[in-house]
């Protein structure tokens, strides 16, 4: 969506007559259907566009250059501030992307492409990097740009910023991006004017502007070849047994679809949903399909991209791996295929920053074929709506053919299906046919007496070269940036009785915590770990989940008895209750106790939103979280419980295994 487009002459007239912000707002209302917008944007337009009008006028570019303002990049939440289009002296068709900033100060960092500025709560990207990334997106995805040989350039203009000496934004760490995408400061307007004149100074930019606006979003052949090459020989995406079968069936159905189709792949933790979903991205790209990969969790996307690129530059491939809220305004069947991993985390309109109503509907609408990888037992917030039943409902709503597949074999936890089944039963998530044992040599599960013992266990494995992390539930608050916690400075996860304290994962490290060297000294949460895997995990189960043993004296459904028709040892962790006082007893298995959660002990504000009067549902979501955390390890898991009855319950159940 483009909010404003005009000739350079028309743009300068709108600024001169003080109509520019009104025209932008009116166009915004008409195109978005909304009746209000962020007032800060109004101020930004008023301030920045006056400076751009001066630069355009002084540059002497012809009146028929094209001007685009607030150009929304499809399938992203990003908008380009300003584009000017035209021809150069050779007649080449060009356009310049200009990132506008009202900053007056900034600081460099030790991280390439990131800067610090008081205008953002946390780190943000360098202005030149922003403009360069937009240029890369249009070069790779706008069909008119790469087929009609439109040549993009990019720069950043900080019109209020007085350059310092040395200037932090020109620090050597940013040399590569600044040499590609120059940055201009308050006193550099003549340099910017020359930059514009050199590239678009011969006008004829209106047709170029419309070609940019009307270009279909489809990966270029060069991008496809690049990404397909990343999959070749990449053992991270090696398919085994039923993973291969699911992949081939989904690929065949996706390629040969004759109408709107929804493919639903159901699978529990460790069954290989992610390796199959990413492999499908590569498979469809190889067949030259217009395909995107979507996942709600930013940490998951970061790690998947890292596995794909393997330390190489991932800037081009990253645009194929999107968030789940990016398809809200896309026309029907914009894409051939969208592959959605972690679909159980798709959102409704309660989700932060999401502008739509239902992400399942958005995706099914936008793609001719949509493929959802889902596990109903991994929903962890009230806004998570991507259940099997919801996907079926939406498929019916759009008249789509439904294809259902299943991944059942567990490949994480060293293939210990018995451990996952046992955990499902212990946490009362689902009843399973095999929950009493697993091969302890294949997968180690232990309960620590202290959090320090758990941490030492994790550190020992990390010292041996294994990928090991500590995870915890949201039983502790998370100190904010304004309180001095931008880089894991505050040890929020504190257990004073054992002199134990560690910080949550760093906001500076962000979504790459799972693969960062700093991660070992920090504690991850479900949002930085869901969908990922480690060799070993330590898990702290806090007071957000508690357990109470039932008082046998108060059981109302009958008297306890031992002479059951079934051997009680067949049901570890269960007691039996007589249904009547006659000579014949009907054995009924009931839980030995009860899980419960207290509102004040759970600190995920969004996770408990609307659940204050629904403690059972909140408790179920918290149990889902701990099931996720305890299945992140491929080789082992060590758990510490702050709630003693819960720890004793787990010990009792563990003792009943072989």
Domain extent at residue 55:
2-214
**Per-residue pLDDT for 500 more than 60?**
yes
Out of 170-174, 218-222, 265-269, 350-354, the most confident range is 170-174
Q: Which of 359, 384, 407 is the last residue of a domain?
A: 407
Same domain, 543 and 560: no
- Tokens representing 45 are 């337009």
Indicate the residue among 407, 435, 461 that finishes a domain.
407
Please name which of 369, 196, 174, 188 lies closest in space to residue 290, comparing C-alpha atoms: 369
Shared domain check, 286 and 395: yes
Asked if residue 283 and residue 301 are part of one domain, the reply reads yes
Do residues 150 and 282 both lie within one domain?
A: no
- Work out the pLDDT band at 40, boundaries 50, 70, 90: low
Determine what percent of the chain is predicted with pLDDT higher than 90: 55
Q: What is the mean pLDDT of residues 423-442?
A: 76
pLDDT at position 556: 39
Residue-by-residue DSSP string for 348-411? BTTSTT--SSBHHHHHHHHEEEEEEEE-GGG--STTB---HHHHHHHHHHTT-EEEEEEE-S--
| pLDDT confidence of residue 480 | 87
- Residues 9-26: what's their mean pLDDT? 91
Residue 225 and residue 181 share a domain: no
pLDDT in tens, 241-271: 888 999 999 999 999 999 999 999 998 877 8
69: left (phi over 0), alpha (psi -120 to 50) or beta: beta
State whether 386 and 459 are in the same domain.
Answer: no
| Out of 113-117, 341-345, 576-580, least confident range | 576-580
How much is the mean pLDDT over the chain?
86
Strand order across the 114-116 sheet: 107-108, 114-116, 124-125
Residue 300 sits in the same domain as residue 420: no
**Predicted pLDDT at 370:** 98
Position 577 scores a pLDDT of 43
When divided into structural domains, the chain yields a total of 4
Specify whether 50 is located in the same domain as 170: yes
Of residues 477 and 556, more confidence is placed in: 477
Residue at a domain's end among 407, 433, 468: 407
- Whether 341 contacts 293, CB under 8 Å: yes
Looking at the fold, whether 201 and 100 belong to one and the same domain comes out as yes
User: Phi and psi of 423, rounded to 5°?
Assistant: -65, -40
Q: How many CB atoms lie within 10 A of CB 123?
A: 20
Q: What is the pLDDT of residue 30?
A: 75
* CA–CA dist 460, 635 (Å, integer): 14
Asked if residue 573 has pLDDT above 90, the reply is no
- 586/608 same-domain check: no
Residue 582 CB-density burial (10 A; 0-12 exposed, 13-18 middle, 19+ buried): exposed
pTM higher than 0.85: no
Q: Is it the case that residue 557 has pLDDT exceeding 50?
A: no
561 pLDDT band (50/70/90 cuts)? very low
Both 66 and 124 in a single domain? yes
Residue 52's pLDDT band (boundaries 50, 70, 90)?
A: very high
Give which of 253, 222, 254 is closest to 367, Cα–Cα. Answer: 254
pLDDT digits (tens, 9 = 90+) for 280-303: 999 999 999 999 999 998 888 888
Name the least confident of 174-178, 246-250, 555-559, 576-580. 555-559
Give the CATH number, domain containing residue 423: 3.40.50
pLDDT at 415: 56
Whether residue 117 contacts residue 127, with contact meaning beta carbons closer than 8 Å, is answered with no
Choose between 252 and 610: higher pLDDT.
252
Identify the CATH number of the domain in which residue 249 sits. Answer: 3.40.50.300
pLDDT confidence bin for 592, thresholds 50/70/90: low
User: What is the pLDDT at residue 583?
Assistant: 39
The pLDDT value given to residue 563: 40
Q: What is the pLDDT of residue 396?
A: 97
Same domain, 48 and 118: yes
From 127-131, 272-276, 365-369, the region with the lowest mean pLDDT:
272-276
């Amino acid at each position: 969506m483009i909010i404003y487009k005009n000739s350079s002459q028309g743009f300068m007239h709108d600024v001169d007559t003080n109509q520019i912000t009104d025209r932008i707002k009116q166009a915004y209302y008409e195109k978005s259907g909304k009746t209000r917008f962020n007032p800060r944007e109004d101020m930004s337009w008023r301030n920045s566009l006056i400076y751009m009008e001066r630069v355009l006028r002084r540059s002497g570019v012809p009146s028929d250059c094209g001007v685009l303002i607030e150009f929304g990049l499809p399938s992203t939440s990003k908008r380009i501030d300003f584009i000017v289009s035209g021809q150069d002296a050779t007649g080449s068709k060009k356009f310049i992307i200009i990132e506008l900033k009202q900053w007056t100060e900034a600081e460099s960092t030790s991280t390439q492409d990131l800067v610090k500025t008081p205008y953002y709560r946390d780190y943000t990207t360098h202005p030149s990097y922003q403009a360069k990334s937009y240029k890369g997106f249009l070069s790779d995805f706008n069909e008119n740009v790469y087929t009609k040989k439109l040549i993009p350039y990019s720069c950043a203009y900080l019109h209020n910023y007085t350059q310092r000496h040395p200037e932090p934004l020109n620090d050597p760490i940013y040399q590569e991006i600044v040499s590609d995408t120059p940055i201009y400061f308050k006193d550099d307007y003549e340099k910017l004017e020359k930059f514009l004149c050199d590239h678009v100074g011969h006008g004829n930019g209106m047709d170029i502007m419309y070609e940019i606006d009307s270009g279909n979003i489809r990966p270029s052949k060069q991008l496809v070849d690049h990404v397909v090459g990343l999959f070749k020989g990449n053992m991270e995406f090696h398919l085994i047994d039923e993973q291969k079968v699911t992949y081939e069936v989904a690929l065949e159905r996706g390629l040969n679809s004759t109408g709107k189709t929804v493919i639903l792949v159901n699978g529990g933790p460790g069954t290989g949903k992610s390796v199959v979903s990413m492999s499908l991205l590569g498979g469809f790209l190889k067949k030259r399909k217009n395909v995107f990969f979507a996942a709600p969790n930013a940490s998951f996307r970061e790690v998947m991209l890292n596995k794909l690129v393997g330390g190489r530059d991932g800037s081009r491939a990253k645009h194929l791996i999107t968030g789940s809220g990016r398809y809200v305004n896309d026309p029907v069947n914009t894409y051939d295929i969208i592959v959605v991993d972690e679909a159980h985390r798709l959102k409704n309109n309660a989700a932060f920053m999401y502008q739509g109503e239902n992400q399942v509907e958005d995706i099914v609408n936008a793609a001719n074929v949509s493929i959802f990888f889902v596990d109903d037992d991994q929903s962890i917030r009230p806004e998570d709506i991507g259940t099997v039943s919801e996907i079926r409902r939406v498929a019916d709503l759009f008249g789509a053919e439904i294809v259902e597949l299943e991944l059942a074999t567990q490949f994480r936890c060293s293939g210990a299906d018995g451990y996952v089944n046992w955990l499902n039963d212990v946490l009362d998530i689902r009843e399973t046919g095999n929950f009493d044992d697993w091969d302890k040599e294949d997968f180690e599960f232990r309960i620590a007496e202290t959090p320090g013992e758990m941490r030492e266990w994790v550190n020992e494995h990390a010292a041996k070269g294994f990928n090991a992390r500590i995870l915890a539930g949201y039983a502790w608050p998370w100190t904010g940036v304004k309180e001095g916690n931008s880089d894991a400075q505050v040890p929020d996860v504190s257990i004073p009785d054992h002199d134990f304290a560690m910080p949550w994962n760093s906001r500076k490290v962000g979504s790459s915590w799972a693969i960062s060297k700093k991660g070992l000294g920090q504690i991850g949460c479900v949002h930085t770990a869901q969908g990922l895997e480690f060799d070993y995990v330590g898990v702290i189960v806090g007071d957000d989940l508690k357990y109470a043993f039932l008082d046998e004296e108060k059981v109302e459904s009958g008297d306890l008895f031992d002479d059951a028709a079934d051997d009680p040892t067949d049901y570890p962790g269960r007691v039996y209750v007589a249904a009547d006082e006659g000579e014949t007893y009907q054995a009924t298995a009931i839980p030995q106790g009860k899980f419960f959660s207290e509102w004040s002990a759970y600190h995920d504000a969004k996770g408990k939103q609307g659940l204050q009067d629904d403690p059972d549902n909140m408790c179920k979501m918290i149990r889902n979280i701990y099931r996720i955390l305890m299945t992140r390890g491929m080789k082992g898991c060590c758990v510490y419980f702050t709630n003693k009855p819960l720890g004793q319950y787990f010990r009792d159940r563990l003792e009943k295994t072989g």
